[in-house]
Structure 1
Amino acid sequence: MPKLRLSKTVVDKIASPQAETIFWDEALSGFGLRVKTNGTKSYVIQYRTRSSGRSRRKTLGQHGPLLSFNEAKKLATGLLSDVLRGGDPVADAVTARTAPSIADLAEQYYEIHALPKKRKKGAANDRSMLDRLVLPRLGKQKVLEVCHRDIQTFHNSLKATPYQANRVLSLLSKMFELSISWGMRGENPAKGVEKFHEEKRHRWLSSDELSRLGAALDRHRNQKAANAIRLQLLTGARIGEVLSAQWADFDLDRGVWVKPSHHTKQKRTEHLPLAKAAVALLEKVHEAQRSGSNFVFPGRSKIKPLVDLKKFWRSLIADADIVDYRIHDNRHTHASQLVSSGMSLAIVGRLLGHTNPMTTQRYAHIADEPLRAAAEVMASKMNHR
C-alpha cells in the first residue's frame, strides 16, 4: 500500500485509481485514505488489538463537507490512542450498535418483572404507560445513552398531569434499577429526579350524601353492581378486591373475609372482620345467585368476575346528585364514618389494610371531633351552675 504525507491539499489532488487503493499517512501510523475507482474517498484506521493482536480496520467516514481532513485526522488520533490503552474501536462500535434500547428494556421489564411480579391491574397500567408515553419518547434511545437530563426533561414535559408524571417516573426508575442488575448500565438516571407535588384527595360523603347514595343504590336496576358498592361501603375494601372476591374467601359463620395476597395492594393475606350487615348482604347475594360461579359478583361469564363499573357508577352518582366523587372515595367515606364515631386511627388503618400509619393520618382532624365534643361537656356544666 502506498504511503503519503497526507494533508487536505494532497487528499484533494489524489485521482481515481485503477483499483481501490488505501494511501497510508506517513505522519500518523494506522491512519489512511481509501480511494475507490469512482473517486469516492473515505478515511480509515487500521490497528492490532493489544489483547489478541488481531488486525482491525474501521471506516471513519467519507471525505467531504461533513468530514474534513483535519477532523478525520483528529478523530483517528483519538481512536488510535484508545488502542494504545487497550481499547478496540471496532468492537466498541459493534457493542454500541447492538446495545439494548429502551424499547428492549421495556419488553424485558414487562415480561420478566411486571407480568409475574405485579397484580394484573398493575401490569396493565405499566403496559399502558409504556405504550402511550415512554416508548414514543425514549423507545429508540440506547439504555446506555439515557442520562439524568433526559429523564428530567421527559418528566417535566408531563407537568400538566402531575400524578401520571410521577407514576411514569417511578416506572422508569424501577426499569433502570433492573437494567443495572441485568448488566445493561451502571447507574440509575432516574435517581434524584424530584417528583411533582401531589395533593391527596380528602373527599368523602356527608351524612346527607351517604343517605342519597343509599337511596340511589336501592333504585338502580343493576342490583348486582349495587351490592358490590354496598359491600365496599360496609368493608372499606378497594373495588378491585370486592369484584375479584370469591366465595371461598369468606367464612360467613365467623364473619371473616380472608383476602388472598394476590388480590391486595400490599401483596399480603388480610383477615377482615365483617359487620353483621355485611354478612347479611353476602348471605342474601349467595342465596339469590343461581349461576354457580365461584365469584361473589360474576360477570357475563360465570368463570370471570365483574370488571368494569364505570358506566354504572356514573349513572348512580348522577341519580344521587353527588359531584366529584369516585368509587375509590368509598374507602374514605368508610374510614371517616369510623373515625368520627370515635374509632382510633390505628384500628381504622388496620381495617383499611394500611401498611404506613401516615396514610391514615388524613383522617386525624375527624378523630379530634369526639374529643372536642367531650371537652364541651365540662364547659356546658360550668355554664349551668
Structure 2
Amino acid sequence: MVDRQKLSEKVLRDAEPAEGRDYQIFDTEVRGFAVCIYRGGGRAFTLDYRYAGRQRRMTFARWPEWGVTAARERAKALRREIDAGGDPLATRDAKREAPRVSDLVKRYVDMHLPHLAALNAADQRSMMEKFIDPTWGTMLVTEISSYDVELLLNNVAEGRARPSKQKPNNRARKLKGAKPTPVRANRVGEVVRKMFAYAVKWGWRDDNPATGFRRRMETPRERYLSHEEIACLATALDAAEDDRAAGIIRLCMLTGARVGEVRQARFEDFNLEHLSWTKPATTTKQRRVHRVPISDEAAAIVRQRRLAVIKGSPWLFPGDVPSQPLLEVRRFWARIQKEVGIEDVRIHDLRHTFASLLVSGGASLEMIGKLLGHSQMQTTQRYAHLMDSPLRAGVDAVASAFKPKPRLVHDADRPAATASPLSRTGLRFGAKHLTVSGS
C-alpha cells in the first residue's frame, strides 16, 4: 500500500527509518513527488514518472538542505518538463557526462600539439597549465561564453607580479610590480580559439566563443643592426674562441635562418654545388620543408665545419652530448653583446637585419617571405615600412613636376634702354622678383 500524505517539515521529522529497507512517502499535491526515508536515517526528495513506457525515479534534493516548500516547487517544474515530453533524468545524466574544459585541454594536447614544433608546443602547453585549465577546467565546454573569454584575456593582459616566488631574494625584485602582457593575451586568445574550433569539429558544442576576440595592440620589436655594428660583430666573431657558437651566429646573419634551424643543421641538408640549403620539416617553424639558396660565404662556413667536425657526425655544430647538436648559445651571445656594445640586440634580430638588407638591395616582399620561410604574407608585411626610400623618390618626382619652373623676365625698375643685358634680366618665381646685377 502506497503511503500518501501532504508532505511537511513535521512529517519528515517524525518519519522513522524502517529496519533493513528504504521507503517513500508520496505527496498528495504533486503527482510522483515523494520523500525517501533511508534505512540509515537520511531523507531525500524524489520524483517518480514514466517516460517512453519506462518507469523512472529521479532524486533531486536532500533534506534538510532543501525545505519541503522549495522541493515541491522544484518537483512542479520537473513535472512541467515531463508533460512537455522531456526526460529530466536523462538530461541530468547527459550533463554529468558532458565534456568539461579539462577534457578539451587534454584532447587538444593529444591531438594537436604533436604536430607543432617543440618550442611552440611547449609554449601552448604552458598557456593551458597557467591560464586556461585553472580558470575553466571544471566548467562544461558548452558553458564557456564570449564573455568568459574576454574576462580570461583581460586577466592575462594585466600580467602578474615578477618574480612569482613568495620570497624574492632581493629588494629590487621584491618591489617589482605586475607588468602588463597584452601580447601574451593575444597568444592565449589564439590558442583558445583553436581549442574551441576543435570542440566544434568534435561535436562538443555548436559555436566558437573565441571567434573575433578583442585583440590588444601590439608594437612589433624593430631592431636592425647598422653597417658599423655588423662590421664590429663580424670582427668579434672572428676573434671568438668558440668556433661552433661563432659559426651559428654567422649563419644566422648570412641566411636569415632561425637559431634553432641553424643549431640542428646537418651536412646532408646542404648542396654546395648548387649553393642551397634544404631545411627538413622537423626543424622549421612552419613544419614544412624549406629550401633556400645560400651565399658563397655561407657555403665556406659549411666547408670549414666539415674539416673541424669529427668524421661520422651528421651535425654541422655537434654538441657536448654525443649524437646531439649544440643545445644553446645564449651565454656566448651575452659575451658578444657586451663586447660589441649591442646589449639590446637579440639573436632573432639578426633575422630582421637580414630582411632589412634584402629590402635595401631591392628585394620584393614576396622574395623576402620565401627566403625567411614565412607561411603567411601578413608576417612579411612587417618589413614593408623599410621600402619607404623608393616610395619617397616617387612622391618627390611628383612634387618636382608640380613645382613652378623659373622664367626670365625684364627688370621693371629700370628703363630697358639704359640697362645692361645682365641688369635687364631677373628670375621670377611666382610673385617673387629676384634681380641679377652685373659689373
Per the TM superposition, whether the score is higher than 0.5 is yes
- What do residues 74-127 of structure 1 show as CA deviations (whole Å, max 9, x unaligned)? 222222222233333223333322332222221211112211x22222222222
Task: Give secondary structure in 1 for the equivalent of 2:371.
Answer: helix
Could you say which residue in structure 2 is the equivalent of 1:146? 144
Deviation at 1:158, TM superposition (A): 0.6
Could you say which residue in structure 1 is the equivalent of 2:55? 55
TM-score, normalising length: structure 2? 0.78
Gap regions ≥5 residues in structure 2:
158-179, 406-439
Q: How does 1:98-177 map to 2 (within 5 A)?
A: 98-115=97-114, 117-159=115-157, 160-177=180-197
Q: Which has the higher contact order (CA 8 A, sep 6+)?
A: 1
Task: Give secondary structure in 1 for the equivalent of 2:112.
Answer: helix
Distance 1:38 1:367, change over 3 A: closer
The alignment-based identity, stated in percent, is 37
| Aligned residues of 1:15 and 1:39 also touching (Cα < 8 A) | no
Could you say which residue in structure 2 is the equivalent of 1:74? 73
**Distance in 2 between residues matched to 1:376 and 1:39, nearest whole Å:** 94
**Distance in 1 between residues matched to 2:83 and 2:334, nearest whole Å:** 71
Aligned length: 375
Q: How does 1:192-211 map to 2 (within 5 A)?
A: 192-211=212-231
**Distance in 2 between residues matched to 1:12 and 1:271, nearest whole Å:** 80
**Distance in 2 between residues matched to 1:186 and 1:27, nearest whole Å:** 40
Could you say which residue in structure 1 is the equivalent of 2:44? 42
| Aligned residues of 1:4 and 1:24 also touching (Cα < 8 A) | yes
Q: Which has the higher helix share?
A: 1
**Distance in 1 between residues matched to 2:391 and 2:203, nearest whole Å:** 57
Task: Give secondary structure in 1 for the equivalent of 2:332.
Answer: helix
Could you say which residue in structure 2 is the equivalent of 1:16? 16
Could you say which residue in structure 1 is the equivalent of 2:171? none
Q: How does 1:318-337 map to 2 (within 5 A)?
A: 318-337=338-357
Structure 1 residue ranges, 4+ long, deviating more than 6 angstroms after superposition: 373-377
**Distance in 2 between residues matched to 1:11 and 1:291, nearest whole Å:** 91
Distance 1:274 1:63, change over 3 A: same
Deviation at 1:175, TM superposition (A): 1.2
CA RMSD of aligned residues (A): 2.7
**Distance in 1 between residues matched to 2:27 and 2:248, nearest whole Å:** 82
Distance 1:208 1:11, change over 3 A: farther
Distance 1:191 1:357, change over 3 A: closer
**Distance in 1 between residues matched to 2:266 and 2:79, nearest whole Å:** 68
Distance 1:105 1:230, change over 3 A: same
| Aligned residues of 1:23 and 1:32 also touching (Cα < 8 A) | yes
Larger CA Rg, structure 1 vs 2: 2
Gap regions ≥5 residues in structure 1:
none
**Distance in 1 between residues matched to 2:73 and 2:293, nearest whole Å:** 75
**Distance in 1 between residues matched to 2:285 and 2:24, nearest whole Å:** 66
Matched, 1:363 2:383: yes
- What do residues 318-372 of structure 1 show as CA deviations (whole Å, max 9, x unaligned)? 2221132221111101111221233333322322223433433333343333676
Q: Kindly provide the amino acid, as one letter, of the partner of residue 234 in structure 1.
A: L
